Amino acid sequence: MDKILIVEDDKKIREELRTALEKKGYSCALIEQFQNVAEQIIREEPLLVLLDLNLPVNDGFYICQEIRKSSDVPIIVVTSSDSDMDELMSLNVGADDFITKPYNMHILLAHIATVLHRAYGRKTSMTLSHNGLTLDILKSRMSYQGKEADLTKNEMGILRMLMENYGTIISRSDLICQLWEMEEFVEDSTLNVNINRLRKKLADLGLNDYLVTKRGQGYMI
């Protein structure tokens, strides 16, 4: 399993990252003591590091430089700074990529997959699985017990969001914002149509009660 090491001093962000990455199928390690961070990273031997810039004791630039003295592990700087100079400095001291907070988790996951592929010459997993159902994100296709069904872009987006947050109710407004970004430009009935089509495709695979409606709250699996 691909291990990603998170170097982030904000506990809430750290835990949110770990939860999202573990749902995606990655193994995670956390840095929680910020003395000798570079040494801890080398010792952990991760496949990739997510590194904040603003850290106690030493900043991310220094840590990146120290890592590069003995390791080529891929490093993605994840920071609240959107300064061009910080991005340039990060790349100059050895970072492989730079992404700013607040970030879209799907975009961050795509950056991680791209950097891992570039570094190790292989594609990382782009599938999600839950209760026997597998979603192939690259092919926009779901499968269950040997049966398959192709999904439209919106159907795939709805199912992906629900699978990445299984066990949690996702509101209609959250689904709309995720799929279409600007809620005011989308009719409420548009979501209904896509939900109903997705439900029918799930039923055709034998999953009649997979997608559950929570009246007045939203949907969950």
Check which CATH number belongs to the domain holding 136 and give it.
1.10.10.10
The mean pLDDT of the chain is: 88
102 shares its domain with 173? no
114 shares its domain with 84? yes
131 shares its domain with 108? no
Structurally, how many domains does the chain consist of? 2
116 shares its domain with 80? yes
- Counting Cβ atoms within 10 Å, is residue 162 exposed (0-12), middle (13-18) or buried (19+)? buried
116 shares its domain with 7? yes
Please tell me the predicted confidence (pLDDT) of residue 8.
95
Q: Does position 125 have pLDDT exceeding 70, yes or no?
A: no
DSSP assignment of 127-186, as one string? EEEETTEEEETTTTEEEETTEEEE--HHHHHHHHHHHHTTTS-B-HHHHHHHHHS-GGGS
**Range of the structural domain that residue 12 is part of:** 3-121
13 shares its domain with 109? yes
107 shares its domain with 203? no
159 shares its domain with 115? no
Instruction: State mean pLDDT over 112-125.
Output: 76
Instruction: State mean pLDDT over 126-146.
Output: 87
71 shares its domain with 143? no
What is the spatial distance between Cα 40 and Cα 152, in angstroms, rounded to a whole number?
44
% of the chain beyond a pLDDT of 70:
92
116 shares its domain with 157? no
Q: Does position 102 have pLDDT exceeding 70, yes or no?
A: yes
Instruction: State mean pLDDT over 141-151.
Output: 94
Q: Which of 91-95, 118-122, 135-139 has the highest mean pLDDT?
A: 91-95
The string of pLDDT tens digits covering residues 47-78 is: 999 999 999 999 999 999 999 999 999 999 99
Q: Does position 122 have pLDDT exceeding 80, yes or no?
A: no
39 shares its domain with 113? yes
Instruction: State mean pLDDT over 112-132.
Output: 78
Please tell me the predicted confidence (pLDDT) of residue 124.
53
Give just the sign of the alpha carbon dihedral 194, 198, 204, 207: negative
Q: Which of 85, 102, 121 is the last residue of a domain?
A: 121
The string of pLDDT tens digits covering residues 159-206 is: 988 988 888 899 988 888 766 654 444 567 888 899 999 999 999 999
15 shares its domain with 84? yes
Q: Which of 121, 151, 184 is the last residue of a domain?
A: 121
